[in-house]
Structure 1
């Protein structure tokens, strides 16, 4: 049984766009956490039957989100017979969250051409500007993690941090501390990067996903078509400012 411990602070974070039109949901202003023992349909949604298009070479499938041993959620990439050659897994909250501390305990997928992520997102499909804060692991090198954010659709704030360990081999805790005047990212409770420039302000959904890329080999490396490819999530937590 894994020991699940939360590094309490105050923040928010992560990325990605949906092609679904979704209703506006409540903004959560209290502690929110999940140990991923089962699918809690009152709090979460499994993306299913659609694609982000662009660099996402997959269709989201609900069956790619699974729960194991009453303590782990797995998001997986499989081959698919739909409009895309592969399927990916995505898990998202029904409600939205604002400034605060966002934490996740996870192991990303290790394979060239794939991304494992934890992020917050809101955008035109939610009736808001595109704001997003990301923690992303590129499967070509899981000894590093990439941080990024978008404010009203403006991104290009990537920062790559050298972890000093292979994140795919064991669970570690990654966090986004989102305040009105800055975003800070943490690894195992230690702040490793902070930015003050053009900070997002709109509450967003908490999202977790794994997906294969296409036509972005210079960024992700070329996906070799290997399946299944899986990222594992042990727990997440949010604490408001």
Structure 2
């Protein structure tokens, strides 16, 4: 994700911005740390619930995808049902890229960045093993093509500036739905929707440090709305941003860990090697229609 902050809006339990305004800063319950940052243009309804606290992580719903990310029709055979991937043993249902990765990243994908799963789940490590770029990073892509439904995963991020831990559904260049944790502020989460090359990110405080333990992050993707939940509690719902139909566009679902190449002060910052490898951890990936 790359962006420049356009505006900040500090929100209460629900916010419906006017169609031509980005909103203005207002106090939130006397607690300036609990701020929601809206980056981009919003049109209709945005509902935010900020009553998050220290809650126990529990698996909810998972993640899917792979395949060509063009607007070709998706074969009916690829539209299959729910799944659960513990990520504690086999990764046979995943593709692991080994390629350059986006130019704006300071790292390239290598298969060796995805560690062998164990009882704690699967880790993706940032290290200095790439022959293409200064750093190596990794991604897991599920073999099932996503459809509308509920996706969730348990994740642990880091507090290393410039490091991003991601969970997302993507039809390349057309549509994308993100959950991103950045090391610049490990006590917040970014929810984003891309429409082509335009993105609409929202930053929401978590009430806990995402780098210190597993928590569950969920995307509910429907034709008319997208809702994000943390530890089973819905905190953002949007019906103002369009996504393309998965029946006619090939999405994929991925988990990744990567590093920025440029300074992004209001988002992730610029990655600086901390001296030792760092890891994002994942477990309990689920999908239910």
Matches within 5 A, 1:148-227: 148-151=192-195, 153-203=196-246, 204-218=251-265, 219-226=267-274, 227=276
The structure with higher relative contact order (CA 8 Å, sep 6+) is: 1
Aligned-pair CA distance for 1:81 = 4.7
In 2: Cα distance, 1:5 partner to 1:132 partner: 25
Equivalent residue number for residue 57 of structure 1:
106
Which structure 1 residue ranges, 4+ long, deviate > 6 Å from structure 2? Answer: 11-14
Q: Aligned with 2:244: secondary structure?
A: coil
Identify if the C-alpha distance between structure 1 residues 149 and 184 changes in structure 2 by more than 3 Å, giving closer, same or farther. same
Aligned residues of 2:64 and 2:252 also touching (Cα < 8 A): no
- Alignment partner, residue 135 of structure 1: 179
Residues 1:112 and 2:161 aligned together: yes
Shift of residue 75, structure 1, vs aligned partner:
0.6
Matched, 1:70 2:123: no
> Matched residues in 2 for 1:187 and 1:47: separation?
28
1:212 CA displacement: 0.7
Question: How much has 1:108 moved relative to structure 2?
Answer: 1.0
Match of 2:146 in 1: 97
Residues 114 and 4 of structure 1, relative CA distance in 2, 3 Å threshold: closer
Could you say if the C-alpha distance between residues 76 and 199 of structure 1 is closer, same or farther in structure 2, counting changes exceeding 3 Å? same
Which residue does the alignment assign to 2:38?
none
Secondary structure, aligned partner of 1:63 = helix
Counterpart Cα distance in 2 of 1:112 and 1:66: 22
| 1:228 match | 277
Q: CA distance change for structure 1 residues 137 and 4 in 2, over 3 Å: closer, same or farther?
A: closer
Between 65-74 and 55-64, report the one with greater CA deviation.
Answer: 65-74
Does residue 7 of the first structure (1) align with residue 68 of the second (2)? no
State the TM-score, normalized to the length of structure 2: 0.70
Query: CA, structure 1 residues 68+94, in 2 after alignment: closer, same or farther (shift >3 Å)?
Result: closer
Structure 2 gap segments, 5+ residues each = 1-55
Structure of larger gyration radius: 2
Instruction: List runs of 5+ in structure 1 lacking aligned partners.
Output: 124-128
* Match in the other structure for 2:49: none
RMSD between aligned alpha carbons?
A: 2.5
Inter-partner Cα distance in structure 2 for 1:170 and 1:81: 28
> 2:217–2:229: 8 Å Cα contact kept in structure 1?
yes
Distance 2:201 2:236 in 1: 11
Deviation at 1:199, TM superposition (A): 2.3
